Amino acid sequence: MRKKHLIFGVLASSVFLGGCAAIPKPGPVGNRAVPQPAKSVDVPRYMGLWYEQFRYEASFEKDMEEVTARYSLNPDGTVKVVNRGKTAGGAGNWKQSTGKAKVVDGESSAKLKVSFFGPFYGNYWVLDHGDHYEWSIVGEPSGRYLWVLTREKHPGADLMAALQARVKALGYDWSLVRTTRQ
């Protein structure tokens, strides 16, 4: 009986440690004073396909191109999140992750928690967005993650320059920003 408990303990520890190894490693802090979201979010209007234009490189997205995020409402009020991107290199394999998000700030709906790993949730703050939901700047309180999303795959130069200026105005270190090829 004791041997069974020992074997179970070793297996449980191995699974736990293996799961911890899969947890993404954060990058450097690029904003030591992440602001509160600038506007409320109308969650149904936020749904749909977004194209990533800029980001802080993260281990789970390393060297990915043609990155998109598709959001849709689940019947229980949570949000289905499907992130997709192409790995770098000649073959360029597509990778996809499906997760779930829930609004945690009922006042503005601009703060969500997102999970791709079972019970582990990370912050997802819509820091700012266009009046017609044509662009969105997403971060979280540690200042280690940043995503700039647009509805258009190839937005015009004026919008891209305005987004760069807005990211800087929010306090993000532009030298850490990586442009995503679409």
Domains of the chain, by residue range, sit at: 27-179
* DSSP states along 46-73: H-EEEEEEEEE--GGGTT-EEEEEEEEE
Q: What is the pLDDT of residues 114-143, one digit of tens each?
A: 999 889 999 999 999 999 999 999 999 999
- Give pLDDT, residue 13: 32
Query: Which residues neighbour 96 within 8 Å (Cβ) at sequence distance 6 or greater?
Result: 82, 83, 84
For the chain, residues with pLDDT lower than 50 are: 2-22
CATH 2.40.128.20 fits 27-179, yes or no: yes
